[in-house]
């Protein structure tokens, strides 16, 4: 599909969105960044504060770590990937919670995922990367999926596309107070991302 079609889709949200309870925060609709002609599309969870501010997904600390992860396997997130989320608006956590954001609720994802599915169809990637638990569960239609069980593995999306599961970079950042555990997560991620790099070409060839 042409980049024009993707641009027109994104333009439909220029006036905002009020389809779910996330609209109460009056935040920006954050849809995508990267190359819409890429054959690899990464889907994460939801925008955070930095993403809401600049209008691009994975722009904050987790996004910067994501950039470095892909740089390490010789991929540029702005050239070799097209990046979006399962919900387009920031889930702002209550002030008393001690958190900045919360995991999107089922009804919020249900309202938004048809648009992400439409975006997937427009971009028409050969490979989808599900980044984090909410993305895995949503894209595979299985609310009981566990990141620890499936990260680093290849599955098949409902559309027939190859789907790779990876840990969300935010999960690593959240372990900063437990350096040994954080180190183990980094090593595991690095191991299977190298495997992803080595098998990606073959997976893309299978779809031709």
pLDDT of residue 21: 87
Give the Cα-Cα-Cα angle 100, 105, 108 (nearest 5 degrees): 105
CB 110 within 8 A of CB 68: no
pLDDT of residue 18: 87
Place of tokens 């993305």: 135
53: phi then psi, degrees, rounded to nearest 5: -70, -45
Residue 1 pLDDT exceeds 60: no
Residues 6+ apart with CB under 8 A from 7: none
Residue 150 pLDDT exceeds 80: yes
Q: How confident is the model at residue 168 (pLDDT cuts 50, 70, 90)?
A: very high
- Cα 170 versus chain centre, distance: 11
**DSSP letter, residue 141:** T
Q: How confident is the model at residue 208 (pLDDT cuts 50, 70, 90)?
A: low
pLDDT of residue 207: 76
Question: Which class is domain 3-206?
Answer: alpha beta
Residue 2 pLDDT exceeds 70: no
Q: Which two tokens stand for residue 158?
A: 């409902």
Report the alpha-carbon distance of residue 135 to residue 191 in Å, rounded: 21
pLDDT of residue 16: 86
pTM attached to this predicted model = 0.94
Output 80 or 18, whichever has higher pLDDT.
80
Show the 3-state SS of 50-82: HHHHHCCCCCCHHHHHHHHHHHHCCCCCCCCCE
Report the alpha-carbon distance of residue 179 to residue 167 in Å, rounded: 17
Q: How confident is the model at residue 124 (pLDDT cuts 50, 70, 90)?
A: very high
- The average pLDDT across 182-186 equals 94
- Cα 63 versus chain centre, distance: 10
Mean pLDDT for the chain overall: 92
């Amino acid at each position: 599909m042409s980049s024009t079609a993707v641009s027109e889709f994104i333009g439909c949200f220029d006036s905002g969105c009020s389809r779910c309870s996330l609209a109460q925060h009056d935040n920006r609709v954050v849809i995508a960044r990267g190359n819409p002609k890429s054959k690899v599309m990464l889907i994460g969870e939801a925008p955070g504060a930095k993403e809401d501010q600049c209008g691009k997904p994975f722009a904050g600390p987790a996004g910067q770590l994501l950039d470095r992860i892909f740089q390490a396997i010789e991929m540029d997130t702005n050239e070799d990937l097209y990046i979006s989320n399962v919900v387009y608006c920031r889930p702002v956590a209550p002030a008393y919670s001690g958190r900045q954001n919360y995991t999107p609720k089922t009804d919020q994802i249900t309202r938004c995922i048809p648009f992400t599915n439409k975006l997937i169809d427009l971009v028409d990637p050969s490979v989808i990367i599900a980044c984090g638990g909410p993305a895995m569960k949503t894209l595979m239609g299985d609310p009981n999926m566990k990141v620890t069980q499936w990260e680093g593995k290849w599955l098949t999306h409902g559309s027939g596309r190859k789907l790779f599961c990876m840990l969300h970079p935010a999960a690593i950042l959240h372990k900063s107070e437990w350096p040994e555990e954080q180190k183990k997560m980094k090593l595991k991620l690095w191991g299977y991302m190298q495997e992803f790099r080595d098998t990606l070409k073959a997976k893309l060839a299978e779809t031709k």
